[in-house]
Structure 1
């Protein structure tokens, strides 16, 4: 893996002993919160690999919950995040999984409330950087380090081109883009990382396109 700067090695400004186990975990939780767009009423977090072995000692548990509360990596409230979440009425369950993951620092986060649920798998790849590898059953690769939009759509001809045309119209540059689908002709997930935050008016225009089911934004 190549690092662009010394900060990629030592990690971000953070609370906790480990950029991988603490800062990365907080970012995984915060991406889940961003996608869910509200504080969940319950959270079930499964830890795999080294996360499962050391999550208490390295603060991975409080970091994940801190992210779900929308705390940044340097927020001192992360230390007390579990107590603060429970005070808000959040039910929390941690599960130590025995399965061997593809990456040692892997967490599956399932959250929800009376209005819906969300499930994602995230890995902490070092220096506080993360990748989201699964979202509600769709395989993807999302870094969480750039503004991004996730578009659930019908797997129909021309849908990707229509989305790209709107982004081009507003001079929005695409840094990374991929599409995942569970079955040909059914629902698909478009993941687009861009160079700048996208205005809500652009998201509204995307939502009006034919075959678009849902549009979600992640802000860096």
Structure 2
């Protein structure tokens, strides 16, 4: 018999009417923020499927902006995220594509420019119960859930890089729960995504970055559903 957690029955604590369209959308944007080198300055969101049909009706737009600001799903500031973004100098826009075929109905693409001029393109899906998955980063298919602390390493696909990353964590006594490497083709740009059982020591991150094939290292903190009563119903 499958064991159900509290969140499976009543959903997460959140601001908004829908754990899928509000809390899940916010978590996608929070993970995207973690992948930036600096604070977000401009964001363009394209909503697909159910996201495109509900948009402001279920607060998906406000939730996405709130996530980029780093707010939690239960932060009352989600309600006025647009005003907070304007005050912080974050520009944003939304487009809806109701015709494109996507694998999941709650899908969003985000193109984000950070304060240092870096550009990040992310696709995320809200999978229900307030949970979310980043499924694409800069054109490369990935799987980042945010349920555990995740390390996302952008690298050249070269022999020895994965061993180097694993060795850096071993040297710092950090246990690796899962490891996946994603690439478009052999020898091209790639991402290694590792889920860890604990936080990432600064010395481990610095050691990983010293490898010449490593371009950057981003930490996505564990941000799974709260497992507490929901503020609304799922959609």
Q: Is residue 92 from structure 1 mapped to residue 92 from structure 2 by the alignment?
A: yes
Q: Indicate the SS of the match to 1:36.
A: coil
| Structure 2 CA distance for aligned equivalents of residues 158 and 173 of structure 1 | 19
Corresponding residue for residue 14 of structure 2: 14
Do the aligned residues in 2 keep the contact of 1:3 with 1:9 (CA within 8 Å)?
A: no
Corresponding residue for residue 146 of structure 1: 148
Q: TM-score, normalised by structure 1?
A: 0.94
Do the aligned residues in 1 keep the contact of 2:172 with 2:201 (CA within 8 Å)?
A: no
Structure having greater relative contact order (Cα 8 Å, sep ≥ 6): 2
Matched residue count: 219
| Structure 2 CA distance for aligned equivalents of residues 89 and 169 of structure 1 | 41
| Structure 1 CA distance for aligned equivalents of residues 71 and 126 of structure 2 | 17
| Structure 2 CA distance for aligned equivalents of residues 78 and 126 of structure 1 | 19
Corresponding residue for residue 29 of structure 1: 29
CA gap 1:56/1:103 in 2 versus in 1, 3 angstroms = same
Corresponding residue for residue 139 of structure 2: 137
Do the aligned residues in 2 keep the contact of 1:14 with 1:23 (CA within 8 Å)?
A: yes
Corresponding residue for residue 107 of structure 1: 108
Q: Indicate the SS of the match to 1:96.
A: strand
Farther-moved stretch of structure 1 (135-144 vs 4-13): 4-13
Deviations 1:171-213 (A, max 9, x none): 2222222111122112211011111111111100111124222
The match for 2:218 among 205, 216, 219 is: 216
Stretches of structure 1 that go unaligned for 5 or more consecutive residues are none
Corresponding residue for residue 192 of structure 1: 194
Corresponding residue for residue 69 of structure 1: 69
Corresponding residue for residue 233 of structure 2: none
Farther-moved stretch of structure 1 (158-167 vs 24-33): 158-167
Q: How much does 1:10 deviate?
A: 2.8
Q: TM-score, normalised by structure 2?
A: 0.88
| Structure 1 CA distance for aligned equivalents of residues 183 and 30 of structure 2 | 25
| Structure 1 CA distance for aligned equivalents of residues 215 and 8 of structure 2 | 36
Corresponding residue for residue 204 of structure 1: 206
Stretches of structure 2 that go unaligned for 5 or more consecutive residues are 223-235
Corresponding residue for residue 167 of structure 2: 165
The runs of 4+ residues in structure 1 deviating greater than 6 Å are: none
| Structure 1 CA distance for aligned equivalents of residues 178 and 127 of structure 2 | 18
Q: Indicate the SS of the match to 1:103.
A: coil
Question: What is the root-mean-square deviation of aligned Cα atoms in Å?
Answer: 1.5
| Structure 2 CA distance for aligned equivalents of residues 57 and 132 of structure 1 | 23
